[in-house]
Amino acid sequence: MISRRPFLKKSLLATVGVLAAPWLSRAGSKTNNFVPGEKKSGQPLVISTWKHGLAANAKAMDVIRAGGSVLDAVEQGVMVTEADPESRSVGLGGLPDRDGKVTLDACIMDDQGNCGSVCFLEDIVHPVAVARLVMEKTPHVMLAGEGALQFALEQGFKRENLLTEKSRVDWEKWKKKAKYDPEVNIENHDTIGMIAIDEGGDMAAACTTSGMAYKLRGRVGDSPIIGAGLFVDGDVGAAVATGHGEYVMRTLGSFLIVELMRNGHSPQQACEEAVSRIIKKYGKDKRIQIGYLAVNLSGEYGAYSIRKGFNYALAGKDENVLVDAGCLL
Ligand code: ASP
């Protein structure tokens, strides 16, 4: 049985963190002031996973302020993280698979149901930009591996070595210790998932990652799977996921959250329910960490994770803050 007491305490702490940003008054964590299909204009909001979300949000908000679309905002926002070699779980400098190859997963979706995705892509710094072109220039949703690379090169992307010296050294150390046996550990769950909503209520989301560090070659996680790593529905809202992707895929977490919001849950309640389902079904395996973010059409948002340590960056027109999410365990 999951004890209710720590759950309540942690939710409260998360709420206090949120209220510290005064411009977020409309983002009451348990409220649900939207009617499906009814767009409300308000302030723009960008929310994204983990600390690297701060720099990504800043870029996304610049795009929105300059009159750009939310789709451009989420794409250009997460590209900041993809290009940052210090971000060891996304794009350039991401930790490799157990064979020392950096393989990337990414997707993007707008509120009209358009989406594009790439998985098991190598040698391209910006998989999210390739995913957007899959969406816009092909009749498909997802391209994988060699085919995704071929498409990227045809579209003018350049091949680059994504394994930085730092990541190579860490991988060499890991090889000695782990004996070629992939480890699942919460430190290497740092995908960037971002949702943006503008003044008119248009929404888009993007998700990009190098996936679980030292994974088996060919492993693809939740991040490029529409409905798992992210989901957007223009009548309801959007959700993104980070963490142990196998469990997000098994429960189709982002789609679930959007459906829960459609049926009356606030974004916060929907994130909490999606986390609880994982624990009810799969138990409290110490290695599982998952964090969800959600936003509804009114710009209310929610955030929740299985265990402590998950944080997210939240930006409005004039502020961009890092907030600790509440957690279940
Ligand atoms: N969800 C990602 C995956 O399983 C990892 C993460 O978010 O850190 O590939």
Along the chain (329 residues), what's the average pLDDT of each consecutive run of 10 residues?
32 38 45 64 90 97 97 98 94 94 98 98 98 98 98 98 95 84 62 96 97 95 98 97 96 98 96 96 83 95 95 94 95
**Which atom of ligand 1 lies closest to the CA of 244?**
4
191 is catalytic: yes
Residue 70: partners with Cβ closer than 8 Å, 6 or more residues away: 64, 110, 111, 196, 197, 198, 202, 203, 204
Is the shortest distance between the CB of 254 and ligand 1 below 6 Å?
Answer: no
Please tell me the distance between residue 262's alpha carbon and the centre of ligand 1 in angstroms. 26
CB 158 within 8 Å of CB 123 = no
Task: Return the pLDDT at 316.
Answer: 94
Beta strands per DSSP E along 53-202: 104-110, 115-121, 142-144, 192-197
Candidate of 51, 225, 242 to mutate for ligand 1, largest count of ligand atoms within 8 Å of Cβ: 242
Q: Which atom of ligand 1 lies nearest, measured to the CA of 189?
A: 8
Cβ 211 under 6 angstroms from ligand 1: yes
Q: Please identify which of the residues 81, 164, 191, 242 carries the catalytic annotation.
A: 191
Q: Return the pLDDT at 6.
A: 32
**Ligand 1 proximity of 222 Cβ (cutoff 6 Å):** yes
Given this model, what pLDDT does residue 104 score?
A: 98
Q: CA 106, CA 180: separation in Å to the nearest integer?
A: 26
Cβ–ligand 1 distance for 208 under 6 Å, the answer no
- Beta bridge mates, 282: none
Q: With left for phi above 0 and alpha for psi between -120 and 50, is residue 168 left, alpha or beta?
A: alpha
Binding site membership of 221 for ligand 1 (Cβ less than 6 Å) = yes
Out of 191, 194, 207, 293, mutate this one to test ligand 1's pocket (max ligand atoms within 8 Å of CB): namely 191
Q: Please tell me the chain's helix, strand, coil percentages from 3-state DSSP, rounded to the nearest 5.
A: 35, 20, 40
| 119 CB within 6 A, ligand 1 | no
Q: Ligand 1 mean position to 90 CA, how many Å? A: 10
Beta strands across the sheet bearing 237-243? 230-233, 237-243, 290-296, 301-305, 326-327
pTM (global) more than 0.85:
yes
Q: Is the CB of 191 under 6 A from ligand 1?
A: yes
Q: Which atom of ligand 1 is nearest to the CA of 191?
A: 7
Q: Tell me how far the alpha carbon of residue 99 lies from the centroid of ligand 1, in angstroms.
A: 18
Extents of the domains making up the chain: 43-327
Nearest ligand 1 atom to alpha carbon 245: 4
CA of 222 to the centre of ligand 1 (A): 7
- With a 6 Å cutoff on the Cβ, whether 243 touches ligand 1 is yes
User: Could you tell me which CATH number the domain at 43-327 has?
Assistant: 3.60.20.30
DSSP 226: B
